[in-house]
């Protein structure tokens, strides 16, 4: 079965003196916003800092001063961003950023990144960068150009794993798997002690989890389908330090690391990335909104020949 | 400037006792066939074994028993194949194969590989395979399933270089470059002695060359544009043995090798591929038409961080 796991991601930071997204906005607004991207809310958890919504396609996190929304599949996330701008007005917005990674099946997407930022440019002035080579994994990041400056302490991380190993793929595609079994397989309860979890197992497979503890959050989305498997992890906890654990469990053939304001990226990568992976791409850029962005793609060098993948008619019609 | 260098490729082998493509078919037929893909013939060279047409988008080679057509850009090569089948009839066809590599800008293509083979399936029964991972470089190959069996001596090679080095990119994008200067830069006249060459320099840049000598042929197509540069070489001369020379000149960040009926692929790769490149993908498959196909993708591990690519409006509208 074909499913595009690759995500689009948007962050909107508001002028904190004008409103709190966490206390001033009713859930109906978030329902509407999510619907604009053709997704819907499955469930939510909250604490005094954050409300985390699990979506039919990924996640929405709302804090007092910002929201983070991640959607996969064929969603049109940019429409949610446009909805927010239109409903709330640009004056209360301190910063909009919009990010999109290269998809497995780009031609099946309803829009390109170019289309999306043309739409955003009607509302906000900004600049786009590509992190990574065009013929390999890459991320496009658009950020609004204004006087907003991110705090250096505002650090977030992404770990994106591709082509997970046979053990992980087999486990995560086995039938009647429960959320508890997946949490155990990913060792989440051992690793993230005292976090509140909210997770969901999709049919026939696929898994999403949101987790919060005070100001810490993480979200994981699993698309375990063979040949186009993808696991994304986003957090404000240092995922470079956690990479060895996740890489051991998932055994991906390739993975990306992306960080915002992690100034020790290079040293951390040297310390934590297992030596059997090699970097095919290393990119860093200081954006005008004061985010220092690092991107790296790593691959597992191959020693042995595999057989080609014979394509069946389902793949031919959906995936190519 | 954006140009999709990635090619589609088709081979049609005919029943030799029924006709000779070289002597029984007028040039007007080839003009028509090429036009079906939205390309046109620029020039041609020939000897007693082969006629090689240089096209506005790549090349057409015609031998007594087969044709090879390679087209890049936004051409619809599958329509040329359909034209051949419709005009000549399936009875004179021994084998059709159709191949397509992943594009830099898949969403900008007028059709997908899936669309193309659905069209082919109206005329011939066949099977498609994918060589290489979905999230990385890969080739789709469709071949007709019938009683045709390729000779083991029928060997061909492709060397596809991506993200060529700064020296090569600068040289090949310099203005008013002549064909002779490009031949010299690529050392073609030293390497391919006594070949007849036919080449063309495109504006603002881009280069194509066909070359033949007795039964030997090669064709090279150069898309030197920074960030989406691509050089493809196809030949029945052993390109694995020639790889060190081309890799030294082009210094690509990544390259693919593809071979048909090269049974020593693995040993040759060990012998000739420079040790600074690592394999990210190794695939081999014996197809039912008796072609033993090998595919490998190699990358140059990165040690240093580069800056992100700032996207200008031209790239945003054309390339994303």
Quote the pLDDT of residue A6.
Answer: 87
A25-65: pLDDT as tens digits? 999 999 999 999 999 999 999 999 999 999 998 999 999 99
Confirm or reject contact between A233 and chain B (CB < 8 A): no
**Is pLDDT at A178 greater than 50 in this prediction?**
yes
Asked if B113 and A320 come within 8 Å (Cβ–Cβ), the reply is: yes
Quote the pLDDT of residue A166.
Answer: 94
C-alpha to C-alpha distance for A63 and A50, rounded to whole angstroms: 5
Quote the pLDDT of residue B316.
Answer: 52
Which residues are registered as beta bridge partners of A218? Answer: A211, A235
Q: pTM of this prediction?
A: 0.93
B69-128: pLDDT as tens digits? 999 988 999 999 999 999 999 999 999 999 999 888 888 888 999 999 999 999 999 999
By Cβ distance, the residue of B112, B285, B305 closest to A282 is: B305
Asked if B294 and A305 come within 8 Å (Cβ–Cβ), the reply is: yes
Q: Which residues contact A8 (CB under 8 A, 6 or more apart)?
A: A70, A71, A72, A75, A77, A78, A98, A99, A100, A116
**Is pLDDT at A318 greater than 50 in this prediction?**
no
Confirm or reject contact between B135 and chain A (CB < 8 A): yes
User: In Å, how far are A7, A216, B139 from A99, measured between CA atoms?
Assistant: 9, 22, 28
Quote the pLDDT of residue A213.
Answer: 98
Interface A–B counts its CB contacts (< 8 A) at: 167
Quote the pLDDT of residue B105.
Answer: 81
Q: Round the CA-based radius of gyration of chain A to a whole number and report it.
A: 19
**Is pLDDT at A77 greater than 90 in this prediction?**
yes
Q: Token digits for B143?
A: 């071949």
**Is pLDDT at B44 greater than 70 in this prediction?**
yes
Confidence of residue A319 (pLDDT cuts 50, 70, 90): very low
**Is pLDDT at A316 greater than 80 in this prediction?**
no
Distance from CA of A102 to the nearest CA of B (A): 9
**Is pLDDT at B292 greater than 70 in this prediction?**
yes
Question: What are the two backbone dihedrals, phi and then psi, of residue A183, each rounded to the nearest 5 degrees?
Answer: -60, -40
Decide yes or no: CATH 3.60.90.10 for domain B8-318: yes
**Is pLDDT at A176 greater than 50 in this prediction?**
yes
Region of poorest pLDDT, from B63-72, B96-105, B176-185:
B96-105
C-alpha to C-alpha distance for A171 and B145, rounded to whole angstroms: 36
Residue B59: closest CA among B249, B218, B271, B176: B218
Decide yes or no: CATH 3.60.90.10 for domain A8-319: yes
Confirm or reject contact between A121 and chain B (CB < 8 A): no
Pairing of strands A216-223, A207-213: antiparallel
Question: What are the two backbone dihedrals, phi and then psi, of residue A140, each rounded to the nearest 5 degrees?
Answer: -100, 130
**Is pLDDT at B155 greater than 90 in this prediction?**
yes
Q: Which of residues 247-306 of A touch B (CB under 8 A)?
A: 253-254, 266, 278-285, 293-295, 299-306
What ipTM was estimated for this complex?
0.90
Confirm or reject contact between B316 and chain A (CB < 8 A): yes
Q: How much is the average pLDDT of B60-67?
A: 98
Confidence of residue B50 (pLDDT cuts 50, 70, 90): very high
B75-89: pLDDT as tens digits? 999 999 999 999 999
Distance from CA of B55 to the nearest CA of A (A): 25
A242-291: pLDDT as tens digits? 999 999 999 999 999 999 999 999 999 999 999 999 999 999 999 999 99
Which residues are registered as beta bridge partners of B182? Answer: none
Q: How much is the average pLDDT of B40-59?
A: 96
Q: How much is the average pLDDT of B11-35?
A: 95
Confidence of residue A110 (pLDDT cuts 50, 70, 90): confident
Q: How much is the average pLDDT of B39-47?
A: 97
**Dihedral Cα B188, B193, B199, B205, nearest 10 deg:** 10
Confirm or reject contact between A217 and chain B (CB < 8 A): no
DSSP A121: T
**Is pLDDT at A314 greater than 50 in this prediction?**
no
**Is pLDDT at B6 greater than 80 in this prediction?**
yes
Domain chopping of chain A, boundaries: 8-319
CB A200, CB A207: distance < 8 Å: yes
- Number of other CB atoms surrounding residue B40 within 10 Å: 12
Quote the pLDDT of residue B228.
Answer: 87
In chain A, residues with a C-beta closer than 8 Å to the C-beta of B316 are: 114, 117-118, 128
**Is pLDDT at B314 greater than 80 in this prediction?**
no
Distance from CA of B307 to the nearest CA of A (A): 5
Residue A173: closest CA among A141, A207, A200: A207
Contacts 24+ apart (CB under 8 A), A121-128: A123/A82, A123/A85, A123/A86, A123/A90, A124/A85, A124/A90, A124/A93, A124/A96, A126/A96, A127/A287, A127/A288, A127/B310, A127/B311, A128/B310, A128/B311, A128/B316
**Is pLDDT at A1 greater than 60 in this prediction?**
no
- Number of other CB atoms surrounding residue B218 within 10 Å: 25
Higher-pLDDT residue of A200 and B313 is A200
Confirm or reject contact between A140 and chain B (CB < 8 A): yes
**Is pLDDT at A73 greater than 90 in this prediction?**
no
Residue B105: closest CA among A4, A228, A102: A102
């Amino acid at each position: 079965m074909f499913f595009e796991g690759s995500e689009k991601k948007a962050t909107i930071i508001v002028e904190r003196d004008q409103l709190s997204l966490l206390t001033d906005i009713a859930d109906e607004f978030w329902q509407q916003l999510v619907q604009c991207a053709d997704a819907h809310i499955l469930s939510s958890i909250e604490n005094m800092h954050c409300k985390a919504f699990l979506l039919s396609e990924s996640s929405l996190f709302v804090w007092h001063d910002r929201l983070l929304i991640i959607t996969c599949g064929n969603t049109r996330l940019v429409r949610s961003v446009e909805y927010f701008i239109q409903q709330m007005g640009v004056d209360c917005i301190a910063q909009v950023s919009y990010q999109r990674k290269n998809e497995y099946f780009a031609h099946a997407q309803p829009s390109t990144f170019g289309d999306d930022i043309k739409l955003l440019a009607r509302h906000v002035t900004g600049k786009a960068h590509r992190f990574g080579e065009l013929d390999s994994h890459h991320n496009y990041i658009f950020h609004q150009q204004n006087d907003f400056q991110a705090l250096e302490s505002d650090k977030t991380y992404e770990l994106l794993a591709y082509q997970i190993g046979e053990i992980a793929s087999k486990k995560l595609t086995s039938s009647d798997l429960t959320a508890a079994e997946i949490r155990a397989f990913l060792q989440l309860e051992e690793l993230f002690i005292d976090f509140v979890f909210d997770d969901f197992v999709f049919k026939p497979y696929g898994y999403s989890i949101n987790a919060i503890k005070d100001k810490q959050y993480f979200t994981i989305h699993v698309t375990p389908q063979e040949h186009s498997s993808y696991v994304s992890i986003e957090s404000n906890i240092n995922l470079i330090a956690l990479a060895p654990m996740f890489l051991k469990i998932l055994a991906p053939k390739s993975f990306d690391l992306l960080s915002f304001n992690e100034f020790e990226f290079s040293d951390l990568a040297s310390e934590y990335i297992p030596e059997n992976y090699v970097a095919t791409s290393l990119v860093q850029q200081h954006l005008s909104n004061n985010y220092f962005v690092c991107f790296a793609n790593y691959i597992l060098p191959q020693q042995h020949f595999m057989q080609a993948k014979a394509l069946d008619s389902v793949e031919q019609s959906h995936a190519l």
